[in-house]
Amino acid sequence: MASIENPGTQSADRRFVASAMALPLLEPDQEFSLARRWRQQGDEAALHQLTTAYLRLVVATAVRFRNYGLPVGDLIQEGTIGLMQAAARFEPDRQVRFSTYAGWWIRSAIQDHVLRNWSIVRIGTTASQKALFFNLRRLRARLNQGNGTMSPDDRQAVATALRVRNDEVEMMDLRLGTGDRSLNAALGDTGDDVWQDLLADDRPLPDEVVADRRDGRVRRAWLGRALQALSPRELTVIRERRLSEPSVTLEALGTRLGVSKERVRQIEHNALKKLKASLTREVPDPRGAGLVPA
């Protein structure tokens, strides 16, 4: 994805970066004092001083991700959001430097932005996919595999280093190696055919949907009339054993009815024979109608 920054935007970004880098850093006691004023008193001036002092950290982190093809100005804005989130959650009593704490939030905000915008298709939704997206190129370079297909040993080395599955490494490697392609792109230099013409629709055809609905209603009517021929106990067994998901075991059903599981099996067998006889009177071939197992 190419950067879409225009010269005016780039000039504004440079001025912002210059002003951010010119701001003085805070000493630890200054950090804690400002953080306490903001957290305990809601002092917005303290919040402003605390966050602006570390805009240089936002800029430094954003620059590290500039090679993903997104405008640096956008990365800085996302990193600033992460900086504000860090300020809202920072607890000075834990005696941790705000710069250390904010660094994680800034990096996370920028990474999320890159993942959302690097491709039209969301490329990383899990922690392992995120780790692969931001580390696979570096590890491939270390393995001298900057170009070409990774060998099985290389994929295994990456999977071990990042603690992910081997198939996840393979999928991410393929995804990073190909850019977004439009379904409206032409198949060749000549002709009007486009890629979406080759996409198959796996859904059933409209006439098949209508036929299935009609046949389903007919089958349910046949089965409903056949079930009326069963006794209450037989009906209970058939419903629990054949018409429920998951089905009840013979032993569990026998305990409920106060009989042995062998007796339940006999009741089920006799009930199925009754159903078959009833359906045969109404339908010449119940197996062909999908009502009785073949």
Identify the CATH number of the domain in which residue 58 sits.
Answer: 1.20.120.1810
49 assigned to some structural domain? yes
Joined tokens for residue 202 = 């796996």
Tell me: pLDDT of 269 over 90.
yes
Rounded mean pLDDT, 69-90? 90
Q: Are residues 98 and 150 in the same domain?
A: no
Q: Is the pLDDT of residue 293 over 70?
A: no
With a cut of 90, say whether residue 188 has pLDDT above it. Answer: no
> How many other CB atoms sit within 10 Å of the CB of residue 134?
17
Q: Is 186 helix (H, G, I), strand (E, B) or coil?
A: strand
Rounded CA gap, 93 and 80, in Å?
Answer: 23
Same-domain status, 79 and 148: no
194 beta partners:
186
Segment 59-85 shows an average pLDDT of 89
Q: Give the residue among 85, 58, 83, 53 at the shortest CA–CA distance from 72.
A: 58
Q: Do 98 and 158 meet the contact criterion of CB atoms below 8 Å apart?
A: no
Instruction: Report the C-alpha gap between 89 and 38 in whole angstroms.
Output: 11
According to the model, what pLDDT value does residue 134 have? 80
Give me the mean pLDDT over the 224-229 stretch: 88
pLDDT at 278 over 90: no
Show the tokens assigned to 238. Answer: 């058939």
**pLDDT over 50 (residue 99):** yes
Residue 287 vs residue 54, higher pLDDT: 54
| Better-predicted residue by pLDDT, 284 or 29 | 29
Tell me which of 69, 95, 118 is where a domain ends.
118
**Is residue 174 included in any domain, yes or no?**
yes
Percent of the chain, pLDDT > 70? Answer: 89
Let me know whether 133 and 100 are in one domain. Answer: no
| pLDDT band (50, 70, 90) for residue 289 | low
Pair 3, 67 in one domain: yes
Q: What is the pLDDT of residue 288?
A: 56
- Among 35-39, 181-185, 255-259, whose mean pLDDT is lowest? 181-185
Q: Which of 90-104, 177-191, 258-272 has the lowest mean pLDDT?
A: 177-191
pLDDT value at residue 147: 56
Residues 59 and 141 in one domain: no
Higher pLDDT, 140 or 263: 263
Give the pLDDT confidence of 16-37 residue by residue, as tens digits. 778 888 777 888 888 888 888 8
Q: Is residue 289 part of a domain?
A: no
Q: Is residue 222 part of a domain?
A: yes
Cβ–Cβ under 8 Å, residues 49 and 99: no
Fill in the DSSP letter of residue 194.
Answer: B
Residues 226 and 131 in one domain: no
Whole-prediction pTM? 0.55
Residue 154's identity, in one-letter code, is: D
Looking at the fold, whether 269 and 213 belong to one and the same domain comes out as yes
Q: How confident is the model at residue 291 (pLDDT cuts 50, 70, 90)?
A: low
Residue 193 placed within a domain: no
**Is 37 in contact with 98 (CB distance < 8 Å)?**
no
Structural domain range at position 132: 123-180
- Residue 82: is its pLDDT beyond 90? yes
- 170 in a structural domain: yes
Q: CA–CA separation, 137 vs 113, rounded Å?
A: 19
Strand partners, 186: 194
Give residue 285's pLDDT. 64
Percent of the chain at pLDDT exceeding 90: 15
144-149 average pLDDT score: 58
Point out the least confidently predicted range of 124-128, 155-159, 246-250, 277-281.
Answer: 124-128
Closest among 63, 88, 87 to 75, alpha carbons compared:
63
How many domains in the chain?
Answer: 3
Cis-peptide, bond into residue 246, ω within 30° of zero: yes
Show the CA angle centred on residue 37, arms to residues 32 and 40, nearest 5°: 110
Mean pLDDT of the chain: 82
d(CA 7, CA 9) in angstroms, rounded, equals 5
As a whole number, mean pLDDT of residues 146-167 equals 78
